């Protein structure tokens, strides 16, 4: 039979579903052949790629890194709980000058503005020096323009108590600035030595407070209302202008008594070198350089740290000593706390301190 060559079936032609003969499903349990098997020679699924060795290695490394970080974090928490470094009063000794280990001279620093936190730190260090029988003398290293009346007086008290309880000498060593409350602390010591460039003096009391009446009323339209039991209850007030009567009252109640105490303690501490009239002549708030202070007998000697060490050894009756400073031990908890401390505290206590009048033994020019 003749037929056209074009009528021949194409071997690449895929039979359609309708062209596949139906199977007798009733006579057999074998399921019908799927269409996919018919087109298997046309479409092949690509084989799954094998995971590379590098990918497996970095996956393991990443997992180990996560586990290591979790372990370190847990260790930090444990150390913060059990390590006593964060407790106040736990110090280590950092050697300044090597010497006889049984003859130690402790350096206690008064650095910066004198406040309650600083006075507490000084107190704990004097306590440590009191309990250490090997400490034969203390050098009070002062770099401060002063601070609050209360905190300055607390440091003076701790020095006096240490000297009376242990019968051991304390030498004040002034650096840079040791004025007002800084000098107030120094006069409790047996001797005072100052570096040639030091600024000291500023004997007196100062009181500052803000007056925001005009700002509130004229700029912001806010009027403060104060209800008080008596006319002097809020003197001085930041919401009212300070009157001459208020100034006289504060001078009598606060400034005068604090000034008199300052003069009294200088007279007691420098009594063998200055009388009260001489102290009063110097106690007008003036500042003095080291040489002028030495001429006026506010200090005993102009020198450096080695001179202070020699003075401490002489007063303690020793010829060789190990000089050290107290340093706060490493504290995990203090680091965690510092990270949570706001750089601009606006809590109620901070705002209250800001509004409260400041009653200070302070060289104010160094603070402004």
> How many domains would you assign to the chain?
1
Q: Measured between alpha carbons, how far is 93 from 129 in angstroms, rounded to an integer?
A: 11
Asked if the structure places residue 273 within a domain, the reply is yes
Name the E strands within 256-321: 287-289, 301-302
Residue pointed to by tokens 């040639």 = 196
Q: At what angle do helices 149-166 and 256-269 cross, to 10 degrees?
A: 30
Report which of 151, 66, 81, 167 is spatially closest to residue 114, judged by C-alpha positions: 151
Catalytic residue positions, numbered: 180, 233
Q: Measured between alpha carbons, how far is 269 from 138 in angstroms, rounded to an integer?
A: 17
Q: Measured between alpha carbons, how far is 325 from 106 in angstroms, rounded to an integer?
A: 6
Q: Measured between alpha carbons, how far is 339 from 221 in angstroms, rounded to an integer?
A: 38
Asked if the structure places residue 136 within a domain, the reply is yes
Q: 10 Å Cβ neighbour count for 349?
A: 8
Phi, psi at residue 210, to the nearest 5°? Answer: -85, 145
Q: List the Cα angle 80/107/137 in 5-degree steps.
A: 125
Asked if the structure places residue 59 within a domain, the reply is no
Three-state DSSP class for 234?
coil
Q: Measured between alpha carbons, how far is 251 from 258 in angstroms, rounded to an integer?
A: 10
pLDDT confidence of residue 269: 96
Residue pointed to by tokens 């007002």 = 180
Residue 299's alpha-carbon distances to 139, 173, 291, 368, in angstroms, are: 15, 10, 9, 26
Q: 10 Å Cβ neighbour count for 18?
A: 5
Q: Measured between alpha carbons, how far is 215 from 238 in angstroms, rounded to an integer?
A: 11
pLDDT confidence of residue 81: 55
Report which of 114, 135, 124 is spatially closest to residue 313, judged by C-alpha positions: 135
Q: Residue 339 is encoded by which pair of tokens? A: 């990270």
Close Cβ partners of 86 (under 8 Å, ≥ 6 residues apart): 80, 331, 332, 333, 334
Three-state DSSP class for 273?
coil
Close Cβ partners of 297 (under 8 Å, ≥ 6 residues apart): 270, 273, 274, 278
Question: What are the per-10-residue average pLDDT scores of the chain (368 residues)?
Answer: 48 48 49 52 52 71 80 70 49 88 95 95 96 97 96 98 97 97 98 98 90 80 85 84 91 95 96 94 96 97 97 95 86 50 51 65 70
Q: In whole angstroms, how large is the CA radius of gyration of the chain?
A: 41
Q: Residue 364 is encoded by which pair of tokens? A: 């104010």
Distance from the first to the final alpha carbon of the chain = 121
Q: Measured between alpha carbons, how far is 211 from 57 in angstroms, rounded to an integer?
A: 69
Asked if the structure places residue 123 within a domain, the reply is yes
Q: What is the CATH number of the domain that holds 314?
A: 3.90.226.10
pLDDT confidence of residue 208: 83
Asked if the structure places residue 213 within a domain, the reply is yes
Asked if the structure places residue 329 within a domain, the reply is yes
pLDDT confidence of residue 33: 54
DSSP state of 255: I
Range of the domain at 200: 91-339+349-366
Cis amide bond preceding 297, omega within 30:
no
Asked if the structure places residue 80 within a domain, the reply is no
Asked if the structure places residue 70 within a domain, the reply is no
């Amino acid at each position: 039979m003749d037929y056209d060559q074009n009528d021949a079936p194409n071997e690449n032609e895929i039979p359609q579903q309708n062209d596949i003969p139906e199977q007798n499903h009733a006579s057999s349990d074998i399921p019908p052949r799927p269409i996919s098997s018919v087109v298997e020679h046309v479409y092949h699924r690509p084989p799954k790629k094998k995971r590379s060795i590098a990918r497996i290695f970095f996956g393991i490394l990443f997992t180990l890194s996560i586990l290591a970080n979790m372990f370190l974090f847990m260790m930090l928490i444990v150390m913060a709980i059990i390590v006593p470094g964060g407790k106040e009063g736990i110090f280590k000794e950092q050697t300044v000058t090597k010497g006889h280990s049984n003859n130690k001279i402790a350096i206690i620093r008064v650095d910066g503005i004198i406040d309650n936190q600083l006075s507490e730190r000084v107190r704990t260090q004097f306590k440590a020096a009191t309990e250490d029988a090997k400490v034969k003398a203390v050098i009070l290293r002062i770099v401060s323009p002063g601070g609050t009346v209360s905190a300055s007086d607390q440091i003076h008290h701790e020095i006096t108590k240490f000297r009376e309880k242990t019968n051991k000498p304390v030498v004040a060593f002034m650096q840079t600035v040791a004025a007002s409350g800084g000098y107030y602390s120094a006069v409790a010591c047996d001797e005072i030595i100052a570096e040639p460039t030091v600024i000291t003096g500023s004997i007196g009391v100062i009181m500052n407070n803000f007056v925001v009446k005009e700002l509130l009323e004229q700029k912001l339209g806010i009027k403060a209302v104060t209800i008080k039991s008596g006319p002097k209850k809020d003197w001085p007030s930041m919401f009212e202008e300070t009157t001459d009567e208020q100034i006289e009252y504060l001078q009598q109640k606060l400034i005068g008594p604090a000034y008199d105490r300052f003069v009294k303690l200088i007279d007691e501490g420098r009594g063998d070198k200055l009388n009260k009239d001489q102290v009063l002549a110097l106690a007008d708030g003036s500042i003095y350089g080291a040489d002028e202070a030495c001429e006026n007998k506010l200090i005993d000697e102009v020198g450096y740290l080695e001179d202070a060490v020699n003075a401490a050894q002489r007063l303690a009756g020793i010829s060789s000593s190990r000089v050290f400073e107290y340093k706060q031990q490493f504290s995990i908890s203090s680091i965690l706390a510092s990270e949570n401390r706001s750089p601009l505290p606006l809590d109620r206590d901070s705002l209250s301190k800001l509004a409260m009048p400041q009653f200070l033994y302070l060289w104010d020019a160094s603070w402004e």
